[in-house]
A and B are shown apart, each in its own frame.
Chain A
Amino acid sequence: MSDNAVEARVDRFVDAYSAARDEIEGVIVGQTEVVDGVLTAIFAAGHVLLEGVPGLGKTSLVRALADVLRLDFKRVQFTPDLMPSDVTGTRVLVESSEGRREFQFQKGPLFANLVLADEINRASPRTQSSLLEAMQERSVSDGVTTYELDAPFFVMATQNPLDMEGTYPLPEAQLDRFLFKLLVPFPSAGTLATILERTTSNEPPHAAPILERDAIIEYQRLVREVLIASPVRDYVIRLTLATHPHCDHAPESVREYVAYGASPRGAQALELSAKGRALMDRRLNVDFEDVRAVALPALRHRVLLNFEGSAERVVPDTLVTDVLESVQ
């Protein structure tokens, strides 16, 4: 391998990333931060939970992403009566050509590269939990056999923070498996005008395919190769520990309103997504600023409020911001 092979890989990554972002932004207007977050999660091989009120383009964003990635895409609309087998698949009795009857596993929509779990909090906890194994182990078990999912595998889930009646908030174990929780903001007036212009004509915008499956896997590998210096890793550790109320470095707000802080998986998410962000900046090393930039989406859903926090309606983003300010 020549001396500049790595630099060439980095260049290809940055070009592909920029092209993918441009394509998605051709469809989804004014959500640059969310698009960046989703792409960072893709290259860090993580799952994303998108939260926003209806009509902000969460589903359209995932559809555009699927178009750009040229991956096998499945969408599951989560409803209260959705069963786990509706997601993972089930064993059905089939008759072979020889006339023998046998059980055969019928794969569910989870067997895709990119799965959109739309309105995930509307399904029962049992159905939500059916995603756990797939999200962490990248495999599905039917009780007898374990089926490996094709790489890459991403779950993009959406949920609506309003209209909470009849919903089942995601359990902590489920939330922890999402690399990022991205908040989709309401667009500004200018952005809204552009959205109307693009979506009310006869030719709705369409994203062109940019990334192949193998390229995505290669870029995911490259992200993991990015180096991190010990002071930066120490910073990641200190940030993670500071989300715990009993930690010495925890700010006062965390001590007061947090029951449990981020898990080691949270530290992994911080470092991995910071690596992806460093690579986007054509750097092969992580900087403190990269960690700070991904701290909110990586930690906000991992901070579990206590009773006082819930009663005071404390926003986790405030707590993570306090942590960022207190940890130097």
Chain B
Amino acid sequence: MRPPSLQTAMAPYLRRARVRAMSRGAVDGILVGALVAGAALLAGRLLGVGTPVAAGCLFVCVVAAGVLLARFWAPDDGRLVAALDADLGLKARVRTAWESEAAQRREPVAQAQIRDAMTALSAKTPRDWAPRLIPRRAWITPAAVALAAAALLAPSRGEAGPQLSAPQREAITAAADALSDDRTLSARLRDAESVDAALAALADYEERAETYEQRRRALNTVRETLRQQPDGPRAADALESAAPTSYPALQQQLRDLRENLARNATTAGLAHALEDIETRAVTEATLQAIIDELRKIEDVAQTAPLASVDEIRAQKRAVALAAIDVDVPGNQARTDGVAGAETGDMVAQGSRLPDAVAATETADAMLLQSLESASMRESTVYTTTRDADGRESTPVFMPFREAVANARAEIEYAVQNDELPVAYRDRIRRYFDALQQIAEEDAP
């Protein structure tokens, strides 16, 4: 009887090897697919691009691609035989015999080696050769698992911040509609995912509007002081072209300008440029610095925002109030600022809340002013006070430090009597702590 050939003995192993190669392709596909699908899911949850269905489709496609690649790019028999030797510990016997058979070597040593290989192979069974399902690129497994876990555990885009309640969304949408002339602001408001984001957008716009109004007031003051017509030439040009007949007269004119500016409006740059005229004669350099600052003010005043400060503040107030989520008729409000979360006894009197918000805004503006110019700390501010009955006086000029102390006392009262929403307390405290620190630093 003719002994079985090496090819016959190897046939079941090679069949198993091809299955193994395809299995590895499938496992590779599953792991790479899990990575790709996990990345897609994660992007969907964090960035809002991609859906679970798309991730699932990607996964299926990558697995199918893995199987197909393994099927059509399967390793040749030589590599499979080498892998068989390595996995079964046959010490290159089968590969050597396979080459001898392929080359049809008939020498006694080659034949003896083939017999040796077959003997070694017969001591094993194809079942000994378990397909290795986990590829050797082992890093991919934990990476895929970690990515899938991250995709499942990551908050979705909508869950990333506190959810907006219907009244909050309504207030923000109303603000966006009211200020829709400015498309950037309107879009920012519509995209806002939290009240804080909306308030921040409004605060930025408010700052811009305030700057504009401040510059416009300063410009009006300049025109009035220099006795110019509103539709006349630019103030800087007029000042530059006017040939001063007498420097003392010019100095007096600029001194008047400085005082009027301090009373009605201020800009840090112009105030700085006018500082020297008290003590020194007006030089060409001083005059040029003043003219340059005037030009800047005029440039800014020409780019007016599309809404007034009052209008912006009204919308800001409406959004801030919506954060309190008033749900009880008769001015009762929950004070946590988060929809649907009861905080028990934190009940504030709704009628006082607009005042508290206004006080916050006043403090905010004062802080901005104080930080804008160190010289302002020594100047006066135009603000209101309250009498013992809580009635608000007409606005008057008072020293900056005194205004801070008044505002702080007022806000402390509001905080102690639970008149402020919880969500605003820390913020207000921080404002006043900062102001107090500035005032203490500046104290003689």
Contacts and interface: CB of A to CB of B under 8 A. Distances in A.
A3 B107 contact: no
A85 interface: no
A3 B117 CA distance: 15
Interface in A214-239: 225-232
Given A6-B109, A288-B92, A229 B99 contact: yes
B91 A3 contact: no
B299 to A, nearest CB: 63
A3 B92 CA distance: 22
B96 A228 contact: yes
B93 A285 contact: yes
B380 interface: no
Nearest to A291: B92
B100 interface: yes
B113 interface: yes
Interface in A187-236: 225-232
A258 interface: no
A286 B109 contact: no
A173 interface: no
A232 B115 CA distance: 20
A6 B96 CA distance: 17
A275 to B, nearest CB: 11
A287 B95 CA distance: 10
B187 interface: no
A249 interface: no
Contact of B92 (A4, A5, A7, A286): A286
B95 A284 contact: no
B391 to A, nearest CB: 84
A231 B100 CA distance: 13
B112 A283 contact: no
B91 A287 contact: yes
A179 B116 CA distance: 29
B116 A284 contact: yes
A231 B112 contact: no
A227 B100 contact: yes
A281 B113 CA distance: 13
Contacts of A229: 82, 92, 95-96, 99
B92 A225 contact: no
A6 B99 CA distance: 19
A226 B91 contact: no
Given A227-B100, A229-B96, A7 B112 contact: yes
A7 to B, nearest CB: 6
A286 B117 CA distance: 12
B5 to A, nearest CB: 15
Contacts of B4: none
Interface string B93-124: 10111011000000111111101110000000
Please indicate which of the listed interface residues A1, A229, A231 has the most CB atoms of chain B within 10 Å of its own CB. Answer: A229
Contacts of A283: 91, 93, 116
A148 B110 CA distance: 33
Interface string A66-96: 0000000000000000000000000000000
Nearest to B92: A287
Contacts of A225: 107, 109
A289 interface: yes
Nearest to A286: B92
A285 B96 contact: yes
A224 to B, nearest CB: 10
Contacts of B112: 3-4, 6-7, 10, 284
Contacts of B113: 227, 284-285
A287 B96 CA distance: 9
Contacts of A6: 108-109, 111-112
Interface in B353-381: none
A226 B97 CA distance: 12
A6 B107 CA distance: 10
Contacts of B115: 3
B115 to A, nearest CB: 8
A230 B82 CA distance: 10
A229 to B, nearest CB: 4
A231 B95 CA distance: 9
Contacts of B111: 3, 6
B303 to A, nearest CB: 62
A228 B111 CA distance: 14
Contacts of A289: 91
Please indicate which of the listed interface residues B91, B100, B111, B115 has the most CB atoms of chain A within 10 Å of its own CB. Answer: B91
Contacts of B82: 229, 231
Nearest to A4: B112
A236 B180 CA distance: 77
Interface in A18-60: none
Nearest to A230: B99
Please indicate which of the listed interface residues B99, B100, B108 has the most CB atoms of chain A within 10 Å of its own CB. Answer: B108
A205 B115 CA distance: 42
A44 B113 CA distance: 19
A6 B82 CA distance: 25
Contacts of A1: 108
Given A1-B108, A227-B99, A229-B95, 20 more contacts: A3-B111, A6-B108, A6-B109, A6-B111, A225-B107, A225-B109, A226-B109, A227-B100, A227-B113, A229-B92, A230-B99, A231-B82, A232-B96, A281-B91, A283-B91, A284-B109, A284-B112, A286-B92, A287-B91, A287-B92
20 contacts: A5-B108, A6-B111, A7-B112, A10-B112, A225-B109, A227-B99, A227-B100, A228-B96, A229-B82, A229-B92, A229-B95, A230-B99, A231-B78, A231-B82, A232-B95, A281-B91, A284-B109, A284-B116, A285-B91, A285-B113
Interface of B: 78, 82, 91-93, 95-97, 99-100, 107-113, 115-117
Interface of A: 1, 3-7, 10, 225-232, 281, 283-289
3 tightest A-B contacts by CB? A285-B96, A6-B112, A287-B91
